[in-house]
Amino acid sequence: MTLNFRKVPEYFLNDKIRELIHNILYLVNQSPLLPDNCKSEDEVIMVETNSESEDKLLMAKTNHGETQDLPVEEEDLYEPSVIRINEDSSEETLNWNTIKEKVDTYRKQLKKGKYAVDTLYYFLIDYSGFHGPTSNLLSGYFPKMLNALPKNMQFCVSTLSEEETKFFDLLLRTEDIADIKTVTEEEKILKRLANNIFDAITMHGRDDLSEVEHMFRNIVPLLDATIRKDNHYRVKYGETLLEATANRRNKGTDPNDRARIGYKVDVIFEYRISWAPVIGCMEVSGGLPRCSRSKEWDDTRKLGLELRDLWLDAMEKLAGANANEIVWWGLTVVGLKIRVYALAAAGGLFHLVLMYECLLPSSPVDLVNLELAYLVLKEFKKKLDETRDILCKLNQERIKLITRGKRGSDELLREVGKKPEIINTPEPRKRTNREKRQLPWRRNIDLITDPNLNGERMYSGKKIRFERNKAKKFSDWKKSQPEKKNRKNKNEKKKFVDQKRKERKNKKKLKEKKKDKERKSG
């Protein structure tokens, strides 16, 4: 298959055409919509403008499968797509060092102001096509990279049982859900779920909800019916601090000097393991209507960093065991859409993959969407169980290593792969003196209180230098400063103002006397 886009005028490359070209690249390389037996041949994909600058070349792929990537100055965000992991039958081996070098080159050319919003800065790879620079840089390697990830990174939604199918059909046919009689505990849970969701989609103002109200009306009933009903799990709602992030931020520092808190997570899934309680996270991106794409990307990037911190915390607590096969699962909610993400570590990088997405009910007409959302969260709960089982198994192997002095099985003789580098969030840029003076609450005057001046304030708008050790009082410091030309002190200014006032009064009196004389003479 050959696609040639040559010498496209620069003014034609608007946002829609860029998104179209990105989708074509995605479909050619690894689209999950293509059948498994459909393989793309050697292709030449060229996007070039008429500009003389070489920076306009976005991507040039040769027949040898190698890509020449140039830095992308602007961050492009696209609609994310679900990734299907298929087996790669090609004999070509994957070289992680080449991929790592590409990421390192991109990070070096990245502007400092974009560190906090670019996932590649944290060695975090987004496979969904959401982050345009990541797709432009590594899309040719995505199929082989996905096959190198843990084999348990699969998400297959099961079907409803016969009892669940009959009960859901009854819920959809009835006019009043409260009239339905329930027998089993599962039927009671489904009836309560359908009743809460039906109230949420028929209430007044259902299309204009804040983030908190949207979460508690449309998301919490589903989580309660699937995950929270298991007594071994605990679901925390509403800006809960993530301890794994706090441990990473405070590592190697004195907490008495400065203690930093962790990320504030919208929903945290905990299990009764004292040494690793958190096994999943969820981020809600705004309420209804749907939030902006930048807000959506910020929460997706934040979810990836939260799952990365959970991976790091488990690796430190499971020292001696191979925890590379652990897959961490998370959720994002964007408008009325739930997305399931998975994170794993391989080749010195973190890999964030969009595994599944489904729609929530928005009106009584599409209440049937509740069936799929219910099954998706049930499958998500199974994935949390798998993560829990792997953590418990690795902990047992770690204890055997400590107590028996040898490894419990031959499986642990494998070498632990290269760990990805952990990049902390960059510190905020310090404001310059000019920016501080421009802040509204400073009123363009920078007043500094010096402890050696007995609490008196001094004007430092023009960076006046002084000797702190010698000056004990403000008056002493003022006398030591050289007098400035064309600048009156307060007393002189007061005399000048009083004199002007007197002159104005005298002029006014003279005018009144003149008018009186004219009246008398007339």
130: exposed, middle or buried (Cβ count in 10 Å: 0-12, 13-18, 19+): buried
State pLDDT tens for residues 33-62: 333 333 333 332 233 333 333 333 333 333
Q: How confident is the model at residue 319 (pLDDT cuts 50, 70, 90)?
A: confident
Q: What is the pLDDT of residue 91?
A: 58
Sequence-ordered strand ranges (E) for 36-184: 45-49, 59-61, 67-69, 124-126
State pLDDT tens for residues 361-387: 999 999 999 999 999 999 999 999 999
Q: Rounded to an integer, what distance in angstroms lies between the CA atom of residue 299 and that of residue 285?
A: 6
Query: Once rounded to an integer, what is the mean pLDDT over residues 295-306?
Result: 95
Task: Pinpoint the alpha helices (H) of 439-489.
Answer: 474-480
Those residues with Cβ within 8 angstroms of residue 436's Cβ, 6 or more apart along the chain or in another chain: 442, 446
Comparing 492 with 165, the larger pLDDT belongs to 165
Q: How far is CA 484 from the centre of its chain?
A: 54
The Cα-based distances of 136 to 24, 25, 26, 83, 392 in angstroms read: 12, 9, 10, 16, 39
Task: Pinpoint the alpha helices (H) of 174-268.
Answer: 185-202, 211-214, 220-226, 243-249
State pLDDT tens for residues 112-157: 888 888 999 999 999 999 999 999 999 899 999 999 999 889 999 9
With beta carbons less than 8 A apart as the criterion, state whether 83 and 355 touch.
Answer: yes
Q: Where are the domains of the chain?
A: 3-147, 162-248+260-408, 433-487, 491-522
Least confident interval from 88-102, 209-223, 249-263, 507-521? 88-102
Q: What is the pLDDT of residue 113?
A: 80
Q: How confident is the model at residue 235 (pLDDT cuts 50, 70, 90)?
A: very high
Least confident interval from 22-31, 180-189, 191-200, 427-436? 22-31
Cα dihedral sign for 330, 332, 338, 344? negative
Radius of gyration of the chain (CA): 33
Task: Pinpoint the alpha helices (H) of 142-242.
Answer: 142-147, 162-173, 185-202, 211-214, 220-226
pLDDT surpassing 50 at residue 309: yes
Comparing 177 with 404, the larger pLDDT belongs to 177
* Averaged confidence pLDDT in the chain: 77
With beta carbons less than 8 A apart as the criterion, state whether 280 and 328 touch.
Answer: yes
Q: Is omega for the bond preceding 255 within 30 degrees of 0, making it cis?
A: no
With beta carbons less than 8 A apart as the criterion, state whether 59 and 52 touch.
Answer: no
Least confident interval from 86-100, 151-165, 192-206, 445-459? 445-459
Name the pTM for this structure.
Answer: 0.68
3-state secondary structure 379-422: HHHHHHHHHHHHHHHHHHHHHHHHHHCCCCCHHHHCCCCCCCCC
Q: Rounded to an integer, what distance in angstroms lies between the CA atom of residue 272 and that of residue 326?
A: 18
Strands 3-8 and 45-49: parallel
Q: What is the pLDDT of residue 283?
A: 96
Q: Rounded to an integer, what distance in angstroms lies between the CA atom of residue 10 and that of residue 47?
A: 11
Using N-to-C axis directions, what is the helix angle for 162-173 and 185-202, rounded to 10°? 30
Taking the CB of residue 486, how many other CB atoms lie within 10 A of it?
Answer: 4
Q: Rounded to an integer, what distance in angstroms lies between the CA atom of residue 254 and that of residue 258?
A: 6
Least confident interval from 50-54, 192-196, 234-238, 460-464? 50-54
Q: What is the pLDDT of residue 115?
A: 84
Q: How confident is the model at residue 318 (pLDDT cuts 50, 70, 90)?
A: confident
Query: Once rounded to an integer, what is the mean pLDDT over residues 229-245?
Result: 92
State pLDDT tens for residues 389-420: 999 988 888 888 888 775 444 444 344 456 78
